[in-house]
Structure 1
Amino acid sequence: MLRYTLMRLGIFAGCLVVVWGLVYSGLFPRGLGNSNGMWIVLLSLLLSAPLSFVLLRGERERASVRVVERVDRMKANLDANRNQEDQADDAARAQGQGA
């Protein structure tokens, strides 16, 4: 998951550099007044989102598989703990009825 996040940040940083260069070279319009920095960040976000969606599909699927495996493992542990508690409770009730 960390790898996917770092890859997304890398794509965003690349887009930020490219958009900054395009804005300051005059190929992209500048922001109004003091909003030029925010304009560059917004354009970078708009460009990096679909690029990340397409370019990182495989990494996103691998991360998803790891998350699903972790959730399944946690569910199995919870079920095992629940069964242990049920067995202990049944044993305690059986001892209480036999005495």
Structure 2
Amino acid sequence: MLRYTLMRLGIFVGCFVVVWGAVYAGLFPRGFGDSNFLWVLLLALVLSAPISWVVLRKERDRASVKIVQKVERVKANLDANRGQEDDADDSHHVRGQTS
């Protein structure tokens, strides 16, 4: 998951640099007043999202498989703990009835 996040951040930073250069070269319009940084940031986000979606498809699939495996492992552990608690509770009730 960290690898995917870092790759996505790298694509965003690359888009930010390209957009920043394009704005100052006059290829893209500048923001109004002091909003130029936000304008460049917004354009970089808009450009990096579809690029990340296409380029990082395999990495995203790998990350989602790892997440699903981790969730299933946690669910199995919770079920096992519940089973132990139920067994302990049942044995307590059985002992209480025989006494």
TM-score interval (norm. to shorter)? over 0.9
Count of aligned pairs: 99
1:33 aligns with 2:33: yes
1:43 aligns with 2:70: no
Offset, 1:76: 0.3
What runs of 5+ residues in structure 1 fail to find an aligned partner?
A: none
In 2, Cα distance between the equivalents of 1:21 and 1:60? 29
What runs of 5+ residues in structure 2 fail to find an aligned partner?
A: none
In 2, Cα distance between the equivalents of 1:63 and 1:52? 14
CA deviations 1:7-45 (Å, max 9, x no partner) are 110000000010011111111111111111111111000
Displacement over 6 Å in runs of 4+: none
Q: What residue in structure 2 maps to residue 3 of structure 1?
A: 3
**C-alpha RMSD over aligned residues:** 0.7
In 2, Cα distance between the equivalents of 1:75 and 1:84? 14
For 1:51, give the aligned amino acid. Answer: I
Give % identity: 68
Offset, 1:91: 0.8
In 2, Cα distance between the equivalents of 1:37 and 1:11? 18
Q: What residue in structure 1 maps to residue 95 of structure 2?
A: 95
For 1:82, give the aligned amino acid. Answer: R
1:16-95 superposed matches below 5 A: 16-95=16-95
CA deviations 1:48-89 (Å, max 9, x no partner) are 001011111111111101110000000000000000011111
